[in-house]
Structure 1
């Protein structure tokens, strides 16, 4: 029986959302300092205003004082489900006043895209965006890629009582170390180390290419963040094509691959259990899937005019495959080339790769390899049961941080999320078609939004119909929450508005 949200529930939710909004005000300090360092006075004023707005709203919500206690699951779902949109609303304010967005809805689109690490953008004149505004875009990627709740818990923002409920509500159930706070700190630490190393490597390449030191550092930092958290935003409108560097593309491919691996497996390698990594169902599913799809993609691309020679085929084709399956969204071909120079087979193969996505517990989006592997294992179990004698008991196991038995509950969870993703892909495509767009483009764009993939064909652009833009925002939000949190929130809210039936004696 669904319960209503009580006044106490609303106070609890408002209190924790206020804490997150106050935290978002602190994140405004980074672009503010960037503006001051580079003497960007107009952006500095905008971020000072945005930080003040967030501080005021957060403080007001924090006045909804609550009695100390453990956060219930339904309250945690509400906090997590609404946080992504609430924080995007505040982050969009300084972006909108930058003058690079036609409407506030466009700025909100980029805010949601940044926090959900989709990477699709409707910004205008990106090449002349201020350093401060660019810094905010990649800060959103960093916060969203790690998970808003993960970042907040890693610095002890919610305390110990609420940690477990909020951590689970963000779609995470595995601890890489004994408790939630240590787990989130481990995830944040790994990210900082990898981004720091990548920044040095890419920055060196930019210096060699002739960039001035400050610009080389910023470009390297932004690309490193976007690559590892599989975000997809780039500081230049040409995305990765701007750099004309095979070395930078290679480093970014390594970063994207690292970002698509579950943080739980990082912990196993860190503990010296390297064999666990290669036996894991996600690793094996990933290697098999990428091997097959790379062959299919290569065959499809070789028939097109864009890749007339083998080096171009390997360099650009492989980069796009990695960008798609990690749901990063970096591009080394233009949106126009995607729809004109790519063969229809290569185009739809890229959409299929993006739809599946990377590993669970990573920064990638999509259906996830763990669910695909479990569904495949359940098919194997069904076949074994059909062939086995009636008296036989068929047990199917798989490896994921140890040997586990495949149960109906595990299969049901994987199938539920899989079906919800596929249904949303289809509905999004139909919405695009209803707005008058060509079917294959509408399918591709729907997959890009729901999987948080970010590789787009140009449908998501400034000036698109408002109804389509709102639906794309919903898809990015739903895909990032992997539907379960979102649907639970929707049902709880709907139940709160349904009139109670009077009890009769």
Structure 2
């Protein structure tokens, strides 16, 4: 039987934390002389309901098992979306509920797809909250909450397992709360450094902190209509590339780097595939860019590197329209939507570790066919990968493909052309932002119907929580389990 009272207390803590995180956005509105009441009212609603839930169940047994963990994570993202969209609705800056839903889900899942047609006309308080949803969803509000749950008498390991994306078992500390704290220290520290570097490059402090939120969360929301292309700055683009790359790296490896254990980084198979893959793809894409435009080698490489890192890490910042370099380049960028960054990063997507396991296992299968009696283990990071993990990854890839196909079919049946349907579903499932068709790098999602926006919002949630966390709730045995 599910422990619903324990779930209620945790939902209260999460809503209280969400409401607290709205207050800086209200302060931004006040600083710029805007009406801060929409955000303040939204914060008050979240804080009040959070407190009521928390203290209503404060004396309940806080045993959290794996089932409760999955349900809490799924419900928390639904609640964060519902309460996170209130500022957009009260301010009337977003005209429909479907638009507010899409924009909020896109922010929290760090997708970065937007329905806004004139971003620069939006109030700065709302823009800050919009960027804050990225930052909250980046490493995961659940991971942050796990760090403080011991103070509330709540265990958090099942929440950490259910919310943390990617098949990785690396830990920086035996206690899960300490692991969560240290990962958040890195997240906050890199955000501060990124902000200062953007500011030093000519951005206003407001723009710098908004873009650093989007960069470290691999989200892509910008305060400018033309994204980072607005600044036309090599310095800003290279800073963004570095921090997008770091944000797409397993944060456990970043911790090992921070404490000087660099050998743990360079021996990691996923990191080697991730870093070498980004460099090789960027060089290959730079060739057609150089051939199709009258620019120098450095600029061609920078355009390629920026767009490749942005798409692969699922950040979604844009400085160039990659669809103008021919169908071949466009197709390559579409395929890049299915890569994703490293497991344990803020990136979305399938993740490099799954691709690595799949490709290595497929290659070894040829050897097993030739030598059927031989024991041919799959080795990743010097350790043997169990059959259960391989089976889990194969199942994930199959369900991911099925979700992409079914989602594309639904969107196309709602009246959209094939390229747009494929691009929209791929980028929402990958939590990337730009795609192909009418949702290319210089387009937005405003033209979709309300029904399509709801479907795409659900697909973004599926992608952010890596399918199983949401889909398991639709299985009868989840609810019948003891």
Using the size of structure 2 for normalisation, the TM-score is 0.92
What pairs with 1:145-294 in structure 2 (closer than 5 Å)? 145-156=138-149, 159=152, 161-171=154-164, 173-206=169-202, 216-294=204-282
| Partner in structure 2 of residue 57 of structure 1 | 49
Corresponding residue pairs, total: 472
Q: Is the 8 A contact 1:176 1:263 kept in 2?
A: no
For residues 439-458 of structure 1, the C-alpha deviation after alignment (integer angstroms, 9 at most, x for no partner) is: 22322221110000011454
How far has the Cα of 1:118 moved from its partner?
0.5
Is 2:449 the partner of 1:465?
yes
Provide structure 1 residue ranges, at least 5 long, that are not aligned to the other structure: 1-5, 208-215, 499-505
Q: Is the 8 A contact 1:176 1:183 kept in 2?
A: yes
CA distance 1:276–1:495, change in 2 (3 Å): closer
| Partner in structure 2 of residue 406 of structure 1 | 385
Q: Is the 8 A contact 1:301 1:343 kept in 2?
A: no
Q: Is the 8 A contact 1:111 1:140 kept in 2?
A: yes
Q: Is the 8 A contact 1:327 1:357 kept in 2?
A: yes
| Partner in structure 1 of residue 379 of structure 2 | 397
Is 2:358 the partner of 1:364?
no
Q: Aligned to 1:429, what secondary structure does the other structure show?
A: helix
Q: Aligned to 1:191, what secondary structure does the other structure show?
A: helix
1: CA distance, partners of 2:289 / 2:393: 32
What pairs with 1:97-136 in structure 2 (closer than 5 Å)? 97-136=90-129
CA distance 1:389–1:348, change in 2 (3 Å): closer
2: CA distance, partners of 1:115 / 1:307: 39
Q: Aligned to 1:436, what secondary structure does the other structure show?
A: coil
Q: Compute the RMSD of aligned alpha carbons.
A: 2.3
2:61 to 65, 68, 71: 68
CA distance 1:307–1:190, change in 2 (3 Å): farther
Q: Is the 8 A contact 2:183 2:255 kept in 1?
A: no
Q: Is the 8 A contact 2:314 2:341 kept in 1?
A: yes
How far has the Cα of 1:243 moved from its partner?
0.9
Q: Runs in 1 of length 4+ with deviation above 6 angstroms? A: none
How far has the Cα of 1:171 moved from its partner?
3.4
Q: Aligned to 2:149, what secondary structure does the other structure show?
A: coil
What pairs with 1:18-33 in structure 2 (closer than 5 Å)? 18-33=12-27
What pairs with 1:429-444 in structure 2 (closer than 5 Å)? 429-444=408-423
2: CA distance, partners of 1:395 / 1:311: 43
Q: Is the 8 A contact 1:20 1:58 kept in 2?
A: yes
CA distance 1:160–1:351, change in 2 (3 Å): farther
How far has the Cα of 1:39 moved from its partner?
2.5
How far has the Cα of 1:309 moved from its partner?
5.1
For residues 133-180 of structure 1, the C-alpha deviation after alignment (integer angstroms, 9 at most, x for no partner) is: 111112111110011111112233774642111111113554222211
How far has the Cα of 1:259 moved from its partner?
0.3
CA distance 1:338–1:442, change in 2 (3 Å): farther
1: CA distance, partners of 2:135 / 2:52: 27
2: CA distance, partners of 1:300 / 1:11: 59
2: CA distance, partners of 1:146 / 1:494: 27
2:334 to 351, 354, 370: 351
For residues 454-482 of structure 1, the C-alpha deviation after alignment (integer angstroms, 9 at most, x for no partner) is: 11454452241122111110110000000
CA distance 1:90–1:320, change in 2 (3 Å): same
Q: Is the 8 A contact 2:81 2:101 kept in 1?
A: yes
2:316 to 329, 349, 368: 329
